[in-house]
Structure formats: structure tokens, C-alpha cells
Amino acid sequence: MPVFLNTKDDGFDAAFAALLTMKREETPEVDETVAAIIADVRHRGDAAVIELTTRFDRLTLTPETLAIPAEEIASAIDEVPAPERDALELAAERIRAYHTRQMPQDHRWTDPEGATLGWRWSPVSAAGLYVPGGLASYPSSLLMNAIPAQVAGVGRLVVCAPTPDGKVNPLVLLAAHLSGVETVYRIGGAQAIAAMAYGTETIQPVDKITGPGNAFVAAAKRRVFGKVGIDMIAGPSEILVIADASNDPDWIALDLLSQAEHDDSAQSILITDDAGFGQAVAQAVEARLKTLERRAIAGASWRDFGAIITVRDLDEAAKLSNRIAPEHLELCVADAQALSLKTVHAGAIFLGPWTPEAIGDYVGGPNHVLPTARSARFSSGLSVMDFLKRTTVAQMTPEALKAIGPAAETLAKSESLEAHGLSVRARLARLNERAGE
């Protein structure tokens, strides 16, 4: 059973604090293992990647077969049934349309002193996109990572998608095709992250690595950050639903289970202002768990990390939501728009009972790669901005330098950086010489 909390009860603050600090993913010795894998890939390149793929994915490769051949990709794509192809194409179209609107504009202006200032945006040259395999492989994740990169103008996109036992998901390859990705490596884990970051004899290094993965992938991304950019360190999935009693308990139960079925470390929380409704949702969850295909995983997640919190009113619900800072936030209340203005920390917000979080995972348009573990307090979901760099631009005229240069010289002297000040003074002196001629 999940945890039941009520803000009116004594001890609520302590219980809620414990909920916030609950560790949902134990990773003993993971970092040590990952460090060894990265060192091995850096030292032995292809040989290390091939050996590790044999060990973890039970797949024997050669340097020539690390990447899936174009003809194999085309053949696999042909196997995709029409309904699934149509659905993936719709998703790709909507995701592309949404992210195209995110593209920022270059800007330049001349200030009153005559200085021309501004900025320009340019894409990273190469990006590596990780797509999980193992328990499940997600073509939707490939779309969510690759399309923003393509829209941003990244010149070279590669995908690492593990294929345990050699089993390829045709939908993943179709998603790569729809996203403009031509190179798909059938490798995964920390070794894939290391190969994309440092390169091997066969795999060229990239500038940015994005995409979710297990604890080993997350630890590897953390270790290679600085050598390459990364999107974020993603933890287990999570959802917070704020719902009043006007909702169908079964709908809310399914929304909670939509995250619980990801893995047994996922977390689903309901906040409601009606205790009876909370009990009805709990009963609906139990009923659905009896028939759900992934009931073992979802049941463990709900039992170990689920929570139902009863609050006095929706204002109190918003305050608790901001403390949780959830990855996904559903607002199933009469005035969802008004409540959304009070919930300032969330990776993604879904307004009203007709907007289940699952729509956001696939065809809504906004990105589903979102901050977890309360990091929505200070970070955002994946976007085209993750594949762009902003470069500032400045140009001084002689008049502008004469107007603001002395202040720069003064500040340089105050910081005891003599050459800084002299580089400005030399130019000012030349201007004064010209003025005296």
C-alpha cells in the first residue's frame, strides 16, 4: 500500500520531509564500475566496447558491425506495421512543430555610446543520443532527443541503442530515420557514453550527449561532463497528480500507474482535497494492478514509493507541489489554468482531466525528457536550447572606446591586472594623439 498522509495530522511535516528525501535508486559501487569502464574504453577503444557488449548484451560485434548497416535499417523499417508507422510519423510531426517554435533569434543593436553589441546562436557540431534498450526500448525517446537537435541544426547526429541478444526494435530505427539520423550504433551502457565522449577507432567523438538510461549510463554521463556537454542526470520517473473529487478515480489511478510501470523505483503521488476520493483512487489502483501487464513493476513502485496526500485546499496543494518539484504534474481540477500559475516548480504541467501525462510522452509536442528528483527547482526539460550555444558579439568604435574605456582601465587597475588596463590605455593614447594632430 502507498503512504497515506494528511496535512491536518500531527507529524505530517516530518513524514512529508521523509517522502521528499526518499532514496529511490540504490547504486552501490556503480561509480567505481563506470570509472573502470570509461578508462578501459579510452585505453583500448573498439576492443573494449566490443568486449563489454559481448559481456553485457550477449552480442558479438566487430568494428565493421558496431553500426547497423543502412540496408538492415531499411529492412527493419519495412517491418513496422502501418498503424505504428502512422502514429510515429504523427508524433514526429508534432514534436518538430513544437520545437521549431523554440528557436531563438540572433540580435544586434548599437547603444548610445556607439558600441555595437549582441549575440548569435549556433548549434553544436555533433551530438550523441542515447536510447535505452534492455527492459524496454523507446522510439519516442529517440524522437524527443533527435528532433530538437535536428531543428537546432546539429550537423552530425549519432545514436547508441543497445540491442541485447541482437534484437533490434524496428520502431527505434524508424524513429531514427524520421529524425534524420543515419548512424545507429548497437551498443549501450557506460561503454557507449565513453565511446561517444572520447571516441574510438570507429566511433567519432561528439560535443554533446543526451538521453536517459540506467544508473550506469547516468554515472557515465556525470563522469564525462566537461569533456562533453550533457543534458541532465535523469533519475527514476515520477508523477504528481493534483485532483479534486469531480474526477473519475479510475482515470487518476491509470495516470499514477503510467509512471509506476516504468520501473520499480518510479514514484507516483496523488494530492487531493477530498480524503474519500483519495481512498477511491487507491482502490482503483489495486483493481488495475490485477490485470496490468507490468503489474509486478508497477505494484512494487506503488507499494514502496507511492503516496496519497490529503490537503485542506488547493492552495495548500500548490505549496506542496512546489516543494516536490515533480517531473510530471497533472492538474485535474476545475480551474487548472489558475492553479498552474501557483505551481512554479515542475518539469511539465498537464492541464485538466482530458490531458493525461501519457499524451506528453508521445504526441503532445513538448519534450518528455524532463528534470527528476526535485531538479525542476532549477532546471528545465530538453529543448533546442540544449543543442545551441550563444556567442556574444561586441564592436567598439573609437568614440565608444573613448566613452567607456577609462572605466575599464580603472576597474583593471583595481583588480591589479596591469596588462588589461594597458590594452585599453594604449588605444586611448592613440586616439588622443590623433586628436592632437
Q: Which of 99, 177, 262, 328 is catalytic?
A: 328
Q: Which of 238, 327, 330, 357 is catalytic?
A: 327
Q: 292 CB contacts (<8 Å, ≥6 apart)?
A: 257, 261, 298
* DSSP for 92-149, written as a single string: HHHHHHHHHTT----EEEE-TTS-EEEEEEEE-SEEEEE---TT---HHHHHHHHHHH
* DSSP for 320-351, written as a single string: HHHHH--SEEEEESTTHHHHHTT----SEEEE
328 is catalytic: yes
Whole-angstrom Cα distance, residue 241 to residue 357?
10
Q: H or E segment at 414?
A: helix 398-414
Strands 116-123 and 348-351: unpaired
327 is catalytic: yes
Exposed, middle or buried, 416 (CB in 10 Å: 0-12/13-18/19+)? exposed
Whole-angstrom Cα distance, residue 335 to residue 345?
18
The residues annotated as belonging to the active site are 327-328
